[in-house]
Structure 1
Amino acid sequence: MAFLELAHLDKSFGANHVVKDFNLSIDKGEFVSLLGPSGCGKTTVLRMVGGFEDPTAGTISIDGQDVTRLKSNQRKIGMVFQSYALFPNLTVAQNVAFGLKVAGIDKKETADRVKEMLTLIGLGDLGARYPFQLSGGQQQRVALARALAVRPKVLLLDEPLSALDAKIRASLRREIRAIQQRLGITTIFVTHDQEEALSMSDRVVVMTQGRADQIGTPFEIYNTPATRFVAGFVGTLNTFDATLTDPATGTVRMGDTQVVLNRQVKAAAGTPVALAMRPESATLGAGQPGDVTLTGRITEVQFLGAIIRITADLGRQSLTLDTFNRSETPPPAVGSEVTISLPHSGMVVLAG
């Protein structure tokens, strides 16, 4: 049985149906991200788990206990907010100790746990400072320590990195993941940033319009998107209009070109589909026998450091491909004609 079980959750605010029949099972110690655009319902799901919103329908169970109607402080939940939510008139140590004090933990145990938490987040010598004396990243570490100090069963993180600059955000997400793995705490992380979700999570739930569009590992979400929305929202994608001609073999017709994927596609013959491919799957020049070969003209070259992103005009549409930067091989010039190869293994058929 899953440690955290969300079954048929619904939430409406008046006529606005925000979460629709949402189901998710999370194992003990698992790190799961809810990923999606603003307004997709991800924060509402998090708030229902935390007890800050009541579901219109459905149930929430933690460690075998139905907590659907329990108050937030009865669920053993740790919550970290986007805005830190530290008490400005309390020191760092007092902020971390706040939940312990409310819970009636004695002074010695509180002092020991505060010291343990500050050491865990690397701020062991800053306990006497006030929040305004800390950087944004340090304040978010304190908020994390405060959430963990009460030893919650589940940790909830509501876009905790969105207010930080890119360098601090990348560093802190590694620290959060390392702490979560060290403690083995079951965690739900809400974000609209696909890089955060893919780099931190055991599994990702991609949400749209109040529903879970796909649930899977980061590898599965990126490489085998189940729907057009997931494919377009996670990463950069090339899509080509096509028609499915043989579902059993995954044969599609793309213009005058027939592509055989040698895998079953769950749609009827004659169905209009999209043939999708990530930029890193396409290559310049001739590929392997059987690859789809296209010709085009380079319209843009973006130097991104380790990656060079190339856009080519194919006539009816454009295609983007990524190639590694190699110092001995300069990228093609804008305006030059090129051959582009598309291997079957990198193609995904999107029918939905």
Structure 2
Amino acid sequence: MSFLTLTHLQKSFGTVKVVHDFNMAIEKGEFISFLGPSGCGKTTVLRMIAGFETPTGGTIEIDGKNQTNLRPNQRNIGMVFQAYALFPNMNVFDNVAFGLKVAGKPKGEIETRVKEMLKLIHLEHLADRYPYQMSGGQQQRVALARALAPKPQVLLLDEPLSALDAKIRVSLREEIRQIQRQLGITTVFVTHDQEEALSISDRIVVMNAGKADQIGTPGEIYNRPTTRFVANFVGTLNVVQAVLVNGAAGTVQIGNKTLQLSQPVTGKADGSSISLAFRPEAATLADAANGDAALSGTVISSNFLGSVLRTKVDLGGNIVSFDMFNQPSAVLPKTGDTVSLSLQQDGLMVLGD
């Protein structure tokens, strides 16, 4: 049985509908990320789970109990905000203890639990400091500890890392995931950063215009997107126009080259135009690997990106990118060079709407 269930969830502000018939079943202990651009409805769904927004329609259940009409303080939920929201007049200890004091817990129990939380976030030595005396990363750790201290059933995180610099962001997201696994707490994480979502989630909900375009594991979302929006939003994608030669056999044609796909193409008539897509890492120089198809084109540009070398190629009017791992002996193709790209069957996708 699912632990957190969202059924036909809807939300409108006046005449504007921002969440459309959202459905999801989340298992106990799962780490779920809501991923999407600004205004797609991901934070609104999170706020409805927390009780800060009342659904226009639908239900929210936690552990089989209907939460839809409960106030935030009646739900056993911990929330971490983007802006930390720590109490500036309280030190670290008192910030973490706040929820426990409101719940009327005994003093001894509060002290023990706060020490446990500070040990969990490795900030025992900063118990007496105030928020203004700490870095952004440290403040966000305290906010996490405060949310976890009352032992909530569900942890909600609303873009908690977006205000931090890149290096701290990577470190803290790994720490959040480690703590989540250690406690086994059901977690919903909102982000617009695809790398964050791909790196720490059990499953990802890619949201678009108030709807869940696709729900799946990071591998499914990245390697097998089911809509054009998901394919373009998550990762870098090359799209080329092809002609369907034989849908049942999975045979397509790009220019004068015939390619064999790994699966048949359904829903399209032979001879029709289709959009074929592949990731930059799914193409290699023909003399560097044995692929299932080779397409010739002219190099437009090459860029050194550290661990990756990215080259743009004009394949008969289709502009595509391919990546090579950086090596000391690696040589970037030069603008104007003619190159052949090898494509693997299982790296090619037929894009839907």
Bin the TM-score by the shorter chain. over 0.9
Give the TM-score of the pair, scaled to structure 2: 0.96
- Does the 8 Å CA contact 2:161/2:169 hold for their aligned counterparts? yes
Q: 1:245 to 1:269 in 2, by over 3 A?
A: farther
**1:340 Cα offset (Å):** 1.2
Instruction: Map 1:106-145; keep pairs closer than 5 Å.
Output: 106-145=106-145
Q: CA deviation at 1:252?
A: 2.8
In the TM superposition, residue 285 of structure 1 has moved relative to its aligned partner by 2.1
Shift of 1:333: 2.3
Unaligned runs of 5+ in 2: none
Q: How does 1:136-215 map to 2 (within 5 A)?
A: 136-215=136-215
Give the conservation status (yes or no) of the 8 Å contact 1:250–1:264: yes
Q: Percent identity?
A: 61
Alpha-carbon distance in structure 2 between the residues aligned to 1:336 and 1:264: 34
Q: 1:162-220, CA deviations, whole angstroms, 9 ceiling, x for partnerless residues?
A: 00000000000000000000000000000000000000100001000000001110011
How far apart are the structure 2 equivalents of 1:290 and 1:82? 45
Which residue identity does 2:330 align to in structure 1? T
Matched with 1:89 is 89
* Aligned-residue offset at 1:265: 3.1
| Partners of 2:239 and 2:180 in 1: CA distance | 37
Aligned partner of 2:335 in structure 1 is 334
Shift of 1:264: 3.1
Farther off after superposition, 335-344 or 154-163: 335-344
Q: Which residue of 1 aligns with 2:75?
A: 75
Secondary structure of 2:168's aligned partner:
helix
Give the equivalent residue in structure 2 for 1:226. Answer: 226
1:30 aligns with 2:9: no
User: What's the CA shift for 1:289?
Assistant: 6.7
Unaligned segments of structure 1, at least 5 residues: none
User: How far apart, in 1, do the equivalents of 2:340 and 2:253 lie?
Assistant: 20
- Cα distance in 1 between the residues matched to 2:160 and 2:348: 35
The answer to whether the 8 Å contact 1:249/1:262 transfers is no
Residue 311 of structure 1 pairs with residue 312 of structure 2: yes
Q: Report runs of 4+ in structure 1 exceeding 6 Å deviation.
A: 287-290
CA-to-aligned-CA distance 1:34-68 (integer Å, 9 cap, x gap): 00000000000000011110111111110111111
Contact 2:48 2:54 in 1 (8 A): yes
Cα distance in 1 for partners of 2:32, 2:248 equals 34
Residue identity matched to 2:313: A
- Structure 2 partner of 1:276: 277
Tell me the secondary structure at the aligned position of residue 127 of structure 2: coil
Give, in angstroms, the shift of residue 331 of structure 1: 2.0
Q: 1:327 to 1:133 in 2, by over 3 A?
A: same
Note the C-alpha offset of 1:243: 3.5
Output the aligned Cα RMSD: 1.4
Tell me, what secondary structure is at the counterpart of 1:129?
coil
- The one-letter code matched in structure 1 to 2:119 is T
Q: Are 2:5 and 1:5 equivalent residues in the alignment?
A: yes
- For the 8 Å contact 1:9–1:23, the answer to whether it is kept is yes
Hey, what's the Cα distance between the residues in 1 that align with 2:93 and 2:49? Answer: 27
What is the letter of the counterpart of residue 19 of structure 2? Answer: V
CA distance in 2, matches of 1:345, 1:71: 49
Give TM-score scaled by structure 1 length: 0.97
* 2:43 equivalent in structure 1: 43
Q: Is the 8 A contact 1:239 1:275 kept in 2?
A: yes
Separation (CA, whole Å) in 1 of partners of 2:12 and 2:250: 40
- Deviation of 1:268 (Å): 2.8
Structure-2 separation of matches of 1:59 and 1:288: 52
Which residue number in structure 1 is paired with residue 325 of structure 2?
A: 324
**How far apart are 1:286 and its partner, in Å?**
4.1
Of 239-248 and 6-15, deviating more is: 239-248
Offset from partner CA, 1:285-321 (integer Å, 9 cap, x none) = 2477772222222221111111111111223121100
Q: Distance in 2 between matches of 1:328 and 1:288?
A: 17
Contact between 1:203 and 1:216, CA under 8 Å: does it hold in 2?
A: yes
Kept in 1, the 8 Å contact 2:291–2:342? The answer is no
3-state DSSP of counterpart to 1:125:
helix
Q: Distance in 1 between matches of 2:163 and 2:290?
A: 49
